Chain A
């Protein structure tokens, strides 16, 4: 198993450009999510999905879109990048959702460092 794979590892964008951060997992996990990590802010939830075709917003969804057409993939789209979106982005997955998530801890990818100039 490769676990949770994020690509790219690093990316530099200009303001206004668009891009997609890729996330794939090969563990047949139901739950997938995107967090952003900023200095002094911890990790904050952007969007999440509890299964193919189902997505929902987290704490900081503005400026980001997601879709979940397959169980394996959960891409994060930036439609028009802004300097405020400079951050490290983590994708995470777990086998189950809800109460049983406790027994299925999050598996994190290695992150994507995004810089928007």
Chain B
């Protein structure tokens, strides 16, 4: 069975600085998909970024980028120029092909951006 581990329950960063959230996963699949979701205090779940395992190039979305290390089964999220609005829970999630779209989530990292 696949598992997703987020080893940092809480993190904080100063506004305008860069922070990296860690995520590791365990799978025997060769191809799969990885996601980062953001959950602000409003409780809404927002897709931040996604990565296909067979693509070696790291995904980037504006200030958000990932460091995908397939051999190490690591998928960290880097947030550059942190903003107060980045304060949220961040969840790493895994999906394997053929799983009908079902996601396996990590336990989350609570990020606080301080002014």
Residue ranges of A at the interface with B (Cβ–Cβ < 8 Å): 31, 33, 35, 40-45, 48, 50, 56, 58, 88, 90, 92, 94, 96-99, 101-102, 104-106, 108, 110-111
Contact = CB atoms under 8 A, between A and B. Distances in A.
30 contacts: A31-B100, A35-B105, A40-B9, A40-B107, A41-B107, A42-B105, A42-B106, A42-B108, A43-B103, A43-B105, A44-B105, A45-B102, A45-B103, A48-B101, A58-B102, A92-B45, A96-B101, A97-B101, A98-B99, A99-B98, A101-B95, A101-B99, A102-B33, A104-B101, A105-B35, A106-B45, A106-B47, A106-B101, A106-B103, A110-B43
A98 B107 contact: no
- Specify the main secondary structure of chain B where it touches its partner: loop
Interface of B: 4, 6, 9, 33, 35, 42-45, 47, 50, 52, 91, 95, 97-108
